[in-house]
Amino acid sequence: MNPAGYSEQVRRAWAIAKKDIRIYYIKGPVLIFGIFMPVFLFLAFLMGSRQLPLAFLVSGLVGMTLFFTATAVSPAIFPWEGQAKTLERLASCPIMVEAIVLGDMIASTLFGIGITLITVVIGLALGLSLIHGITLLAAILLAACCFSAIGMLLAVPPTNVPSNIMMLSSLLKFPLVFISGIFVPLEQMPPWGLALAFCSPLTYFADLVRYSFTGSHFFAVWVDIAALGFFMVIFTAGTMYLHKRTMPKRM
């Protein structure tokens, strides 16, 4: 395909992203879930862990917010559209499967970034200082792309029953939160816990957020950024390839 053809596919992916935001994301229940689910987890942990510094807890809140919001709706978009037969209409248009997936990922990424910035403002309002703002913005952008790819990867099974996908999504997301240094500092984890934490992209994002607020970190900053970039590329390539294979089974 020539460069003009790829440019046209990107334009169509952006049109899909705008459609997703209008139909799926700008809804009261989705916004409430995106904001209040991480906040409730944060408050529950805060009440039982008063010895941890506020910067550690708010950093975990920012990490949870981006992770939950970027994966909140994207796993169910394909099943919803398959159930409503709108996916067949998209597939019959002159648009690549990769562009459809990219459009869903763009919408998820923008939604995650928007809600997460609100959480960052809450942290600043509580009195935290932002030491490395550029690092934080870069981490949020990179992690939002990575987490949106995870959300689309969860939608790969060719089912048009959204509840099946959301159940699978919950089974993956909640364990990831608890092994990623959100609630327990990595320094206090046993060796087996650290081994699991190394496999989670959320670990590296949470480490970057804490570095942005406190200046301290567990990994080197370049390691966190490289790990997030690696996970983003792997998950994006995987979701593009797998959706291309399973798309015909949804029709």
Q: In this structure, are residues 72 and 21 in contact, taking their beta carbons and an 8 Å threshold?
A: no
Q: 240 falls in which pLDDT band (50, 70, 90)?
A: very high
Q: 85: burial class by Cβ within 10 Å (0-12, 13-18, 19+)?
A: exposed
Q: Which two tokens stand for residue 149?
A: 């790819």
Contact (Cβ atoms closer than 8 angstroms) between residue 97 and residue 247: yes
Least confident of 35-49, 163-177, 196-210: 35-49
Q: With contact defined as beta carbons under 8 Å apart, do 17 and 103 qualify? A: yes
Per-residue model confidence (pLDDT) at position 205:
95
Measured distance CA(153)–CA(54) in Å, rounded: 34
Other beta carbons within 10 Å of 81? 22
pLDDT in tens, 56-109: 888 888 888 899 888 888 888 888 887 777 777 777 777 888 888 899 999 999
Task: Give the C-alpha separation, 34 to 68, whole Å.
Answer: 6
Mean pLDDT over all residues of the chain?
A: 84
Domain enclosing residue 30, as ranges: 3-250
Percent residues over pLDDT 90 in the chain: 28
User: How crowded is the C-beta side of 81, counted as CA atoms within 13 Å?
Assistant: 22
CB 203 within 8 A of CB 180: yes
Tokens of 110: 């923008």
- Asked if pLDDT for residue 5 goes beyond 80, the answer is no
Number of independent structural domains in the chain:
1
**Is the separation of the CB atoms in 98 and 240 below 8 Å?**
yes
Count CB neighbours of 46 within 10 A.
15
pTM of the model: 0.88
| Pair of tokens at residue 153 | 């990867």
Rounded to whole angstroms, the Cα distance separating 114 from 117 reads: 5
d(CA 204, CA 241): 25
Alpha carbons 203 and 176: distance in angstroms, whole number: 9
Tens digits of residue pLDDT in 146-196: 999 999 998 888 877 777 787 878 788 888 888 888 878 888 888 888 889
Report pLDDT for 119: 85
